[in-house]
A and B are shown apart, each in its own frame.
Chain A
Amino acid sequence: MTLTTAKTPAVIPAPAGEPLQADGGSHGRHSTKSAPADPSGVTATAQIRAAHNGRTTTVPLLHNDDPFHLRRLRARGEQARVCVLGAMSAPLGGDRLALDITAGRRARLEVTTAAATIALRGPTTTPATYDVRITVDDDATLHWLPEPLISTRGSTLHQTFTVDLAPTSRLVMREEQLLGRSGEVPGHLTTRLIVRRGGRPLLDQQTAYGYPAPAWDGPAVLGSHRATGQLLLVDPGLGTPQEPHVIDDDPAEGHAVLTPLADPRALIATAVAPAPAQLRHLLDTALAYAYTYETPRPDADGEQ
């Protein structure tokens, strides 16, 4: 299995760039769809469904919903690829955004985003919600590899990731969170991650950063780090329990741990770093290490 990931710039600039403007621009903020809690907010649900047609993976369902725009990318072998555009123009306060991703039986799908997703205050301090619902059916593989989520000053965003995996499915999922742009105080960001495998809970986690989360920048939670992320790898091929692996060659560049969950067919890397480039490096290093677990390991690999 190979995986390539886009480079993240060391410094995330203030939101800009055509054609997707951070302040709404041509996509507008005045949706006529079902009324959300806050009248200035947008309610949107985009959907992606991949299926295997007997030869290769196709993407029969690609449902756009402002501000989400979905684009098919060139397939990589049998793996279909979809890029989410426009998430960077949202969420603003009051928005209720959802993204449904399904990899049907035997499908191989990769979903990425075109740029960092930036949580902005918008015209209201009402919290925004962003729910990503992922379903991976039997013998299917999903790679969910978005660019980072950036929490900016004054924003409040509640993210939820709900992942339902069939027992024979595979998943690679990366989440990166940046607390504030360069030198900026972050907003309030909560993230709930719920992963089930064969209907049984595999992982249940919640994080809360930025005021008013208590001591989020204290020495038990993030300390001075402003970039944090996780990489979750679920693969039925990971049959035997693996030893955890710590990545902390240079503490000034952040550190990470790669560890099996209680279900040894799942590994998770958790990383903290001063900035996004170091965070991505740590997660890439963890992923490369994780793949060594899938092949017979040499006797003298130095770990223990």
Chain B
Amino acid sequence: MSRTALLVLADGRFPAGGHAHSGGMEAAVASGRVHDTASLEAFCRGRLHTAGLVAAGLAAAAADGCDALALDQAADTRTPVAALRRIARRLGRQLMRAARATWPSTDLDHLARHRPQGAHQPVVLGVTARAAGLAPLDAARAAAYDSLGGPATAAVRLLSLDPLDATAVLARLAGELDTVADAADAAARRVTAEGVGVLPAASAPLLDITGEQHAAWTVRLFAS
């Protein structure tokens, strides 16, 4: 197996449906909380260290071969808001379809069979990384990066930001992303011995509140 699989998996063009989601950015722009490059960076940093860290932990543990169904439940307990659970499962289902076509595996089949409505996206991402022969740290990195790519791309469209500025934000956060991925990987290594409770559970009140608000909008550009 090839590390290049990580590039395929993390590529925004990988057909997993993520482009339709802004990761809370549409609501943040509508409220005026994100309005320029600096506030975009603050949003991305906050999301990286909360939702991104949680996703990275789940993905790393799934890539490590931990029980995906137990991880899916752990994702539920870490996602108190109904709209965000629904979106995570929808994204998981879309990723599952692409993953099974790309890296067929019995682990993916098993998860798909037990969660026909979709498992939480980071869990599917981790099982996919495992099927592609990637390491848990690779899965953590892909999940953490995924938590930023959506909002950054969406901000460009919603605010007519310069795409170069948005990309520079992602580049500036690369070091922190590595730290988050390392922390997630370290936590995932403890799951077999200590259970899923050791995985990160960081939450962000505004992402939770606006996630549900956004889901109730009748007209919106992004699905989340």
Contacts and interface: CB of A to CB of B under 8 A. Distances in A.
B213 interface: yes
Nearest to A241: B82
A160 to B, nearest CB: 12
A204 interface: yes
- Classify the secondary structure of A's interface with B: strand
B47 interface: yes
Contacts of A208: 49, 202
A25 interface: no
Nearest to A190: B202
Interface stretch (B69-77, B128-136, B157-165): B69-77
Interface centre among B80, B81, B203 (most CB of A within 10 A): B80
Contacts of A220: 24, 28, 42-47, 50, 204, 206-207
A257 interface: yes
Given A214-B176, A215-B42, A262-B77, A204 B209 contact: no
Given A215-B49, A219-B42, A220-B47, A251 B77 contact: no
Interface in A211-254: 213-216, 218-223, 225, 228, 244, 246, 248, 251
Contact of B77 (A202, A248, A271): A202
Interface residues of B, number: 43
Nearest to A209: B205
Contacts, number: 124
B200 interface: yes
Contacts of A257: 81, 208-209, 212-213
A201 B47 CA distance: 24
Interface range for A? 35 or more
B46 A192 contact: no
A257 B205 CA distance: 10
A228 B205 CA distance: 8
B197 interface: yes
A270 B203 CA distance: 11
Contacts of B43: 215, 218-220
Interface in A242-286: 244, 246, 248, 251, 255-257, 259-262, 268, 270-272
B82 A215 contact: no
A272 B82 CA distance: 18
Contact of A270 (B28, B73, B80): B80
Of A207, A219, A223, A256, the most chain B CB neighbours within 10 A belong to A219
A246 B202 contact: no
A203 interface: yes
A140 to B, nearest CB: 22
Nearest to A264: B82
A262 B84 CA distance: 11
A203 B77 contact: yes
A206 interface: yes
Of A194, A251, A262, chain B has the most CB atoms within 10 Å of the CB of: A262
Contacts of B45: 214-215, 218, 220
Given A214-B176, A222-B205, 5 more contacts: A206-B202, A207-B204, A213-B49, A220-B50, A270-B80
Interface of A: 192, 194, 201-208, 213-216, 218-223, 225, 228, 244, 246, 248, 251, 255-257, 259-262, 268, 270-272
